[in-house]
Amino acid sequence: MKSKTFFRLTLTHAFIAILGFAMLYPVIWMIVSSFKPNNMIFSDTGIIPKALTIENYISGWKGYSGVSFAKFFLNSLLMCAAAIAANLFSCSTAAYAFGRLKFAGKGFWFAIMMTTLMLPAHVTLVPRYIMFNGFGWVGTYLPIIAPKFLATDAFFVFLLVQFIRSLPRDLDEAAIIDGCGLAGIFVRIIIPLAKPALVTTALFTFLWTWDDFFNQLLYLTSPATFTVSRALRTFIGDSGAVSNWGGAMAMSTLAMVPSFILFFSLQKYFVQGIATSGIKG
């Protein structure tokens, strides 16, 4: 009986491990291939390289039209930092109002906020572009960052509302007795207690901004402003042909590094974020 369960357990482990390995094989192959000489990437399907080189990293790092990947990474990081600051500010204030405060029209606005979650972005795309172009913002990061200061990522408002609603109210009352106003409660009680949800917000803001391509394609027009996502696209020519596969693989590998680091260091926030709000993906 005992050996039977042991056998079943081993089989389950083996099955899960093999399936997982098969799923990750393309990614592992990509990482390994980025260290292979350019002429071997095509012929070698294995993940044990026959020769190692950092040639691809050197040729890929050179970037596009005289701008190197150092600049692209810096651009991406700064853009993500601004996006995180914007979302933390605007989504937490909105979530505090929806999750904790009483005011006229609350139910109505909350229903509207939830509806915007399902609204396809394309329906506002053209007028927003015209508006931002009128402001002279096309070619800068403002069309990507500024909307986040106005809580346009309603997903995070919802995530934070869910979290704030679950916080005990006893502390609020104590704070009121101590002379705290609503703003004081927000700063001194809600923000510190909502830290896990705020970390989740910051984390997903980073990942989505880092990986977002559409807005960067639309608004970033000159190579000096390109982000990593936008720059990777330049490896694929308009006809779909790729001249420097080695460089493309090497820079794609580097582009995934920040996501990997965050994922493995902040794993519990991922599971929490996905399970409580059903974050898309």
From the list 94, 120, 122, the residue with the least C-alpha distance to 109 is 94
Contact between 189 and another protein by CB under 8 A: the answer reads no
Would you count residue 274 as binding another protein (CB under 8 A)? Answer: yes
When binding is defined by CB under 8 A, the residue of 127, 136, 168, 179 that contacts another protein is: 127
Residue 23 contacts another protein per CB under 8 A: yes
Tokens encoding 191: 């923000």
Q: Does 266 bind another protein (CB under 8 A)?
A: no
**Binding residues for another protein restricted to 227-246, rule: CB under 8 A:** 228-230, 232-233, 235-242, 245
Q: Which stretch binds another protein (CB under 8 A): 56-64, 68-76, 194-202, 208-216?
A: 208-216
- List of residues 6+ apart from 113 with CB closer than 8 A: 94, 98, 154, 157, 158
Round to whole Å and give the CA distance between 49 and 38.
12
Cα 39 from Cα 111, distance rounded (Å): 57
For position 97 contacting another protein by CB under 8 A, the verdict is: yes
Q: Does 224 bind another protein (CB under 8 A)?
A: no
Could you tell me how far CA 14 lies from the centroid of its own chain? Answer: 32
Whether 175 and 188 have beta carbons less than 8 Å apart is answered as yes
Q: Which of residues 141-170 bind another protein (CB under 8 A)?
A: 147, 149-152, 157
Kindly list the distances between the CA atom of residue 86 and the CA atoms of 148, 198, 266, in Å, as whole numbers in the listed order. Answer: 5, 12, 21
267 binds another protein (CB under 8 A): yes
43: Cβ contacts below 8 Å, ≥ 6 apart: none
Tell me: does residue 278 bind another protein (CB under 8 A).
Answer: yes
Q: Which of 6, 7, 135, 213 binds another protein (CB under 8 A)?
A: 213
Cβ distance to another protein smaller for residue 104 or 177: 104
Residue 196 binds another protein, judged by CB under 8 A: no
Contacts of 252 (CB under 8 A, 6+ apart): 30, 34, 232
The residue within the footprint of another protein, chosen from 13, 50, 62, 195 (CB under 8 A), is 13
By CB under 8 A, name the one of 124, 140, 162, 244 that touches another protein: 124
Q: What type of residue sits at position 25?
A: Y
| Distance in Å, CB of 147 to another protein, minimum | 5
Exposed e or buried b per residue across 126-157, where buried means at least 16 C-beta atoms within 10 angstroms of its C-beta: eebeeebeeeebbebbebbbbbbeebbbbbbb
Residues 30-89 that bind another protein (CB under 8 A): 30, 41-45, 89
* Rg of the chain taking only CA atoms, in angstroms: 24
CB of 81 to another protein, least distance (A): 19
Show the site string, 104-123: x = touches another protein by CB under 8 A, - = not: x-x--x--xx--x-xxxxxx
Between CA 9 and CA 263 the distance in angstroms is 28
List the one residue from 17, 54, 74, 261 that touches another protein (CB under 8 A): 17
Q: Which stretch binds another protein (CB under 8 A): 51-59, 60-68, 124-132, 162-170?
A: 124-132
